[in-house]
């Protein structure tokens, strides 16, 4: 009888509204890795896989927030049920004797509403389980970090181990940002939700620190977004170092260095453009993005059938609204004059379409941090198909 590799339950967490985007990313990885049972729930995508899922997902997921190992999931209306459910998980299989484990928690519409009490019970259950393996009464917590979370929702407990550490939006290239930076994970999702493909021009006319343009360039060159950083689980003995080495080697080999996308980004703030150029250099895509100091009123579109994706100011600060609304009107004049362009704009301003001068073909509710926004989508004409014999 052949022993099958052990499989684990994972959760790729997601900003609300982006679950389908994260699911598509997991399904894409499933073509190379043996993932199964992919399911979409609120704020998460669940799936099963082997240990190789940890480096693969942390390196490659662009729109997910983090990758969690689902240690246990069960009904818990009493502290005894919570203790027993946590105790049933294989903590000694993951936590070494010196593990620096930290327990956090949250409770929503559950009988066990005291988060500190739930955290305390969870930690006690983990310690008692570790005692069965290590035969000691006290644990030093001097080793690698393990963040455990106990989450209760409608009396159902989910106990997870965070394999990521700082969120996946921490790519490692954005040392500097503008006043209202867009998370890299959301920028990647905005691109994925658009009709942009790497053979078409992409423009961000209000680029700020350059996040959308840089994320597009990374995707166009097939650069794994997590390649320039480390993850907390790289220090875990339970995950062989060879898995991380192999995943990183494969990611480097997958980079398409021979392709240069047509990505354009501009802003009227010279300091913002300097920051964006610096960030692009750190990301290794400074040769892929053409940055320019230019007001949106002075932009000439770089050809036809392009795609514009932008996160403009929302006008939420006192005194900014008139200037912001004038900006939206200028944006409409620019793009409505060339209907070959597809335009995607994320903003919380409810009157955006009126100011832009056109009703969106589609809109999608998304959260930019704590701000509820609409992602307005204006579809341009489809590019003509190449003539026979052309590529």
Model confidence over 199-230: pLDDT tens digits? Answer: 999 999 999 999 999 999 999 999 999 999 99
Q: Assess whether pLDDT exceeds 80 at residue 58.
A: yes
Question: Can you tell me whether residue 114 is helix, strand or coil?
Answer: coil
pLDDT at 318 over 80: no
Tell me which H or E stretch contains 243.
Answer: helix 241-254
Q: What's the pTM value of the predicted model, to 2 decimals?
A: 0.93
- Domain annotation for the chain: domains and CATH numbers: 8-162 (3.30.2130.30), 184-224+258-378 (3.40.50.150)
Question: Which strands form 66-75's sheet, in the order they lie side by side?
Answer: 36-41, 44-49, 8-13, 66-75, 156-162, 145-153, 100-108
Q: Return d(Cα 305, Cα 303) in angstroms, integer.
A: 7
For residue range 81-128, list pLDDT tens digits in order. 999 999 999 999 999 999 999 999 999 999 999 999 999 999 999 999
Cα 204 → chain centroid: 19
Contact assessment for residue 133 and residue 175, using Cβ atoms and an 8 Å cutoff: no
Q: What is the pLDDT of residues 231-270, one digit of tens each?
A: 999 999 999 999 999 999 999 999 999 999 999 999 999 9
Radius of gyration of the chain from its Cα atoms, rounded to whole angstroms: 24
**Among 138, 54, 50, 145, CA closest to 95:** 145
Which H or E run includes 185?
A: helix 184-192
Query: DSSP readout, 247-309?
Result: HHHHHHHH--TT----EEEEES-HHHHHHHHHHHHHHT-TTTEEEEE--GGG---SSSS-EEE
> Could you give the CA distance from residue 67 to residue 8 in angstroms, rounded to a whole number?
12
- Say if residues 241 and 54 touch (Cβ distance below 8 Å): no
Q: Is the pLDDT of residue 176 over 90?
A: no
- Region 121-144: mean pLDDT is 94
């Amino acid at each position: 009888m052949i022993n099958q590799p052990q499989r684990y339950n994972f959760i790729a967490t997601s900003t609300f509204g982006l679950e389908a985007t994260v699911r598509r990313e997991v399904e894409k990885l499933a073509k190379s890795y043996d993932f199964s049972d992919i399911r979409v729930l609120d704020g998460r995508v669940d799936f099963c896989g082997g240990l190789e899922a940890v480096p693969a997902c942390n390196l490659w997921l662009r729109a997910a927030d983090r990758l969690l190992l689902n240690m246990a999931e069960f009904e818990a209306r009493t502290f005894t049920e919570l203790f027993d459910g946590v105790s049933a998980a294989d903590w000694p299989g993951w936590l070494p004797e010196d593990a620096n484990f930290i327990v956090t928690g949250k409770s929503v519409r559950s009988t066990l509403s005291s988060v500190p009490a739930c955290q305390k019970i969870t930690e006690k259950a983990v310690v008692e389980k570790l005692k069965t393996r290590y035969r000691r009464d006290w644990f030093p917590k001097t080793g690698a970090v393990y963040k455990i979370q106990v989450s209760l929702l409608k009396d159902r407990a989910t106990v997870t181990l965070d394999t990521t550490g700082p969120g996946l939006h921490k790519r490692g290239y954005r040392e500097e940002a503008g006043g209202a930076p867009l998370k890299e994970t959301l920028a990647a999702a905005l691109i994925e939700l658009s009709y942009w493909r790497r053979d078409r021009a992409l423009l961000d006319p209000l680029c700020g620190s350059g996040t959308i343009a840089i994320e597009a360039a990374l995707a166009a060159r097939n650069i794994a977004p997590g390649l320039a950083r480390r993850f907390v689980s790289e220090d875990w003995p339970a995950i062989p170092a060879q898995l991380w080495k192999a995943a990183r080697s494969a990611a480097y080999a997958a980079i398409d260095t021979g392709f240069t996308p047509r990505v354009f980004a501009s802003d009227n703030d010279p300091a913002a453009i300097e920051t964006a150029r610096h960030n692009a250099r750190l990301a290794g895509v400074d040769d892929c993005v053409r940055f320019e100091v230019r007001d949106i009123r002075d932009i000439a579109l770089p050809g036809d059938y392009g795609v514009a994706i932008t996160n403009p100011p929302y006008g939420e600060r006192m005194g900014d609204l008139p200037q912001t609304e004038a900006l939206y009107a200028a944006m409409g004049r620019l793009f409505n004059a060339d209907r070959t362009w597809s335009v995607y704009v994320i903003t919380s301003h409810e009157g955006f379409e009126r100011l832009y001068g056109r009703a969106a073909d589609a809109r999608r509710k998304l959260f930019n941090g704590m701000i509820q926004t609409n992602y307005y989508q204006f579809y341009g004409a489809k590019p003509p198909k190449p003539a026979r014999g052309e590529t």
